[in-house]
């Protein structure tokens, strides 16, 4: 993690029978509605895929000092 930016990571495993178009729809939905971005995608010999999604963790800072 560079520059002090923290990310939350989610892993999605897609079975080999999931078509490329279905996988695209699943990942697009995660990106649009939940704020995830595709970090890494891996395809295995058996045809299954594994996608790692990430999104920034935004920390609230205390601005009032007592």
All structural domains of the chain with their residue ranges: 7-56
Per DSSP, which regions of 1-66 are E strands?
7-14, 37-43, 49-56
Count CB neighbours of 28 within 10 A.
11
pLDDT in tens, 12-51: 999 999 999 999 999 999 999 999 999 999 999 999 999 9
Count CB neighbours of 60 within 10 A.
5
Position 36 scores a pLDDT of 94
CA distance 37 to 11: 12
Position 1 scores a pLDDT of 45
Position 58 scores a pLDDT of 84
The residue with greater pLDDT, 32 or 2, is 32
The tokens for 12 are 């999605």
The tokens for 25 are 């729809």
């Amino acid at each position: 993690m560079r520059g002090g930016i923290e990310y939350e990571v989610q892993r999605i495993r897609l079975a080999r029978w999931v078509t490329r178009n279905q996988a695209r729809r699943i990942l697009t939905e995660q990106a649009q509605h939940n704020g995830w971005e595709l970090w890494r995608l891996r395809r295995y010999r058996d045809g299954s895929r594994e996608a790692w999604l990430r999104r920034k963790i935004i920390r609230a800072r205390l601005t009032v000092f007592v």
